[in-house]
Amino acid sequence: MPLPETDPGRQFRLELRGISKSYPAVRANDRIDLTVAPGEIHAVVGENGAGKSTLMKIIYGMVRPDAGDVLWNGRETQISSPAEAQRLGIGMVFQHFALFDTLTVAENIALALPEKLPLKAVAARIVEVASRYGLPVDPGRHIYTMSVGERQRVEIIRSLLQKPGLLIMDEPTSVLTPQAVDTLFVTLRELAADGCSILYISHKLDEIRALCERATILRGGKVTGVCDPRRESSNAMARMMIGADIQAISSARTVSAGSERLAIHNLSLPASDPFGTTLSDISLSIRGGEVLGIAGVSGNGQQELLAALSGETMFADPQVITIDGKPAANLDPRQRRAIGLSSVPEDRLGRGAIPSLPLSENALLTNGGPDSVRGGFIRLDKVKAFAERCIAEFGVRGGTADSPAGSLSGGNLQKFIVGREILQAPGVLVVAQPTWGVDIGAAIAIRQAILDLRAKGAAVLVISEELDELFEIADRIAVIASGRLSPSVPRGRFDRDAIGLAMSGQFAAASNRSEASRVHSV
Amino acid sequence: MSIRFELRAQPSRTMVWLSPIIAITLTCCVAMVIFALAGLEPVSALATFIFSPLADLYSVGELLIKAAPLVLIAVGLAVGFRAGVWNVGGEGQLILGVIFGGFIALTFGPTGGVWVLPVMVVGGAIGGAIWAGIPAFLRTHFNASEILTSLMLNYVAQLWLSYLIFGPWRDPAGFNFPQSAPLAPSALFPTLIDGTRANASILIALVAVGLGWALMSKSFVGFQLKVTGLSEGAAKYAGFSAKRAVWIGMLAGGVAAGIAGVGEIAGPLGQIFPTASPGYGYAAIIVAFLGRLNPIGILFSGLLMSLLYLSGDVAQMSLGLPSSITGLFQGTLLFFLLTADVLIHYRLRATSAAGAPKGAANGL
Ligand SMILES: Nc1ncnc2c1ncn2[C@@H]1O[C@H](COP(=O)(O)OP(=O)(O)OP(=O)(O)O)[C@@H](O)[C@H]1O
Ligand SMILES: [Mg+2]
């Protein structure tokens, strides 16, 4: 496919020549060339572990390349630290957020700004940028109280405030809602029109096609192609990324729903911190062989609901939550796991895994049943075998049972964590953002695994901001807004606009709409 | 040429064991410089310093008898440290062991039989556990920092013991010296090696090492403690109770220190003094970290610390240096160890002067 030949006289904002970086286990970047012109929105795509984040960290001065040159505005430059990168005018949104948990939003952002401003002024600018770009955050809030979706907004606002000449965005939309993504894209196009170059990483090819004018495709650390994504089909790009066609998932839609496996009865829970969400009067019921999707804008009570279900939050009244009819609301996570409820948290590094421990011990984190622990002692061989099975069955690449979890690429760790729960064949699975940051192939594999679990009679609750994902795997969808849960809508009556309305809290309007649409379709 | 640190893919197993050796070697170098500055011949002074505490069987016995409480307490503390529970009250917990064990010895020793010593050990353990339980309770119920509470309780314990020895427990036949009556033979640990003071409390320390090892590296409880220490969020998600970790961590240290306290009065001292412990509860913190919170490592670091204590006496007697040199060398050793430990997770790489490494680089 012929590309618009770049004018040799034109200067690139950024040019990479022959960048290589090896880690002990893999060659993460292998002689990579890449150019970005001023005002260009350039996508970097590839499978999990292809080396995208590594390359971005090299540009941002966080990782040193083993070989190769970086040219900034045509001049060879050594970027040896993030501070230097910021001085040059490079901003970055990290895949695994780089925020201080115990500081507020304003404090975090003030730290990243080149000039020293009073916190009040920073807060004012945050509010201004936040409202202009449709990314609501409260500058006075502490990071540790925020969900991953909210943290992502903070990361983006921070990078926008820096007024960069090059903006690196490593999966910035992985936990943003479709509406927030749309406004973000408007912003990015404005920035680009002002001459800011953008390096954009995402696994969502339709986003790339909507936003980017050029894409560099990586596979196994090497550049396998450069194309204009607007002129390629998603399938063609996927083929370049994974070297094979992507397969559709087989949904086996006809699983007949069994008896009720998970139920919540009028659950109310006051917020535990001033910025948390109060859950009010939530009820739901999921039967075996059924997937219930919960849609909603991050920060509307998803975190609290997940904690209530997993057992991190316990209730005095055991009847509020029942698992297979057994009252369970007063049980802790281990006890709930013992009666068949597994959960996958949204925060994979701070909760779902411990970066410094090997994968085998991370498997033991939730797999402490009689298979792995006997008489109080760990059966190391079993634990290792389980981790290896998880690695093999879920295609976790770049690590063995002995590699620390922190050395895996983001998507590969996600596969491991989801695999760890699914392999234990729970009767009830509660999972938040199941395909956060995984590539198309792996996302399909994970969704397929969830559907296979459902086919075996499990009840699955999926909390996700990705509507497409829910449309694909859910049998029913409910919406959570301001701590309240809407009634669920069965598959076949899914309506993107109605759900969108409900996400903003207008349950009544939404149900009228879907009533109306049902009448129409009759 | 510049040198920089680079994260290793996996922590180096070689360096885990090499790093203490590097630290000891560097400490010896510093020691020789100090000896030279003090006008001594460095090599022979170092040899005297290291080897004279090991010269004869009696000295070896002394080495063991000093190492035993250090190892015992350090293993107990390490259980807590791994879980992020910072018990710095080992000294007070040891003194409670002295008080509880001492009470049993003074009350039942003169008339009792062979059961007195085991009861003292259990009593000491209970005493230490109670003293460690107070900070654990305050932490789990009021979120009070166990560092401060356990530390302050050290002073309370010390004053309580002083009160007892200056008051009710003072030996009527002791010419008014602040000391208790000598303990009855049934309240003393039997000697293990003839001609030395090495007694059966050494065996208790060895058992603690075995138990500690099994707990920390083989048991699920040990794994839960480790997870709690590493990541609060992950522990919550997995359902490992943080309160339970605080209790286990504090009590392990308290029980160990309490038993060590009994070992002191029922061992070399044979009597209760207001200064029953020469700071073992504090030194054990260093021992625990020197041994990298691993019971086997603690066994060696305990022996090393014990050697440093004895060498301090040697320095005073035959080298004419103040015995506080022990503290200096302890600090130096810890400093070098922590420095060398960086090499467990990082390796050194030589890079070209330009900064960006081009082509092959040498790794350590
Ligand atoms: N600090 C590290 N130590 C060892 N290996 C690493 C480290 N960081 C990355 N790797 C390895 O380098 C490879 C590339 O990782 P990278 O994070 O760049 O992938 P990615 O393309 O961003 O993937 P994802 O889409 O999953 O985020 C992976 O195989 C990963 O395991
Ligand atoms: Mg990445």
Is A350 in contact with B231 (CB distance < 8 Å)?
yes
Q: What residue ranges of chain B are covered by domains with CATH 1.10.3470?
A: 61-317
Is A162 in contact with A112 (CB distance < 8 Å)?
yes
Query: Ligand 2 is a single-atom ion; what residues have CB below 5 A from it?
Result: A 53, 95, 410
**Percent of residues, chain B, with pLDDT higher than 70:** 95
A4-242 to CATH, choices 3.40.50.2020, 3.30.2130.10, 2.40.40.20, 3.40.50.300: 3.40.50.300
Measured from the Cα of A439, ligand 1's closest atom is: 25
- Would the CB of A216 count as within 6 Å of ligand 1? no
A260-491 to CATH, choices 3.40.50.300, 1.10.10.10, 1.10.3720.10, 3.20.20.70: 3.40.50.300
- Cα(A62)–Cα(B151) distance, integer angstroms: 41
CA closest to B241 among chain A residues: A332
Verify whether the Cβ–Cβ distance A373 to B237 is below 8 Å: no
Per-residue pLDDT of B317-335, as tens digits, reads 887 888 788 888 888 888 8
Phi, psi dihedrals of residue B211, rounded to the nearest 5°: -65, -45
Q: ipTM greater than 0.85, yes or no?
A: no
Please report residues of B whose CB lies closer than 8 A to that of A381.
none
Per-residue pLDDT of A230-263, as tens digits, reads 888 877 887 877 776 666 666 655 566 688 999 9
Measured from the Cα of A50, ligand 1's closest atom is: 21
* Fold agreement between A4-242 and A260-491: yes
Q: What confidence score (pLDDT) does residue B26 get?
A: 94
Is B35 in contact with B42 (CB distance < 8 Å)?
yes
Model confidence at A512: pLDDT above 70: no
Per-residue pLDDT of B237-259, as tens digits, reads 999 999 999 999 999 999 999 99
Model confidence at B355: pLDDT above 70: no
From atom 4 of ligand 1, which residue's Cα is the shortest distance away?
A407
Q: Which residue has the higher pLDDT, B20 or A337?
A: A337
The alpha-carbon gap from B215 to the nearest alpha carbon of chain A, in Å, equals 8
- Would the CB of A50 count as within 6 Å of ligand 1? yes
- Would the CB of A345 count as within 6 Å of ligand 1? no
Exposure on the CB side of residue A124, measured as CA atoms within 13 A: 5
Model confidence at A2: pLDDT above 70: no
What are the residue boundaries of the structural domains of chain A, listed by start? 4-242, 260-491
From atom 22 of ligand 1, which residue's Cα is the shortest distance away?
A53
Q: Which of A32, A409, A436 to mutate to test the pocket of ligand 1 (most atoms within 8 A of CB)?
A: A409
Starting at the edge strand found earlier in the chain, the sheet holding A222-227 runs A90-93, A166-170, A197-201, A41-46, A214-219, A222-227
Average pLDDT estimate for A472-501: 85
Q: Which two tokens stand for residue A299?
A: 């920060």
pTM of the model: 0.80
Please report residues of B whose CB lies closer than 8 A to that of A373.
220
**A102 in contact with B, Cβ within 8 Å:** no
Q: What confidence score (pLDDT) does residue A410 get?
A: 83
CA closest to B221 among chain A residues: A376
Is A405 in contact with A362 (CB distance < 8 Å)?
yes
Verify whether the Cβ–Cβ distance B239 to A350 is below 8 Å: no
Taking the centre of ligand 2 as the mean of its atom positions, its distance from the CA of residue A411, in whole angstroms, is 7
Is A91 in contact with A43 (CB distance < 8 Å)?
no
Q: What confidence score (pLDDT) does residue A509 get?
A: 53
Q: Topology of B61-317 in CATH?
A: ABC transporter involved in vitamin B12 uptake, BtuC (1.10.3470)
Q: Which residues on chain B place their C-beta less than 8 Å from a C-beta of chain A? A: 4, 8-10, 214, 218-221, 223, 227, 230-231, 233-234, 236-241, 354-359, 361
- Would the CB of A49 count as within 6 Å of ligand 1? yes
E-only strand ranges, chain B: 2-7, 346-351
DSSP secondary structure of A417-472: HHHHHHTT--SEEEEESTTTT--HHHHHHHHHHHHHHHHTT-EEEEE-S-HHHHHH
Confidence of residue A137 (pLDDT cuts 50, 70, 90): confident
Verify whether the Cβ–Cβ distance B238 to A66 is below 8 Å: no
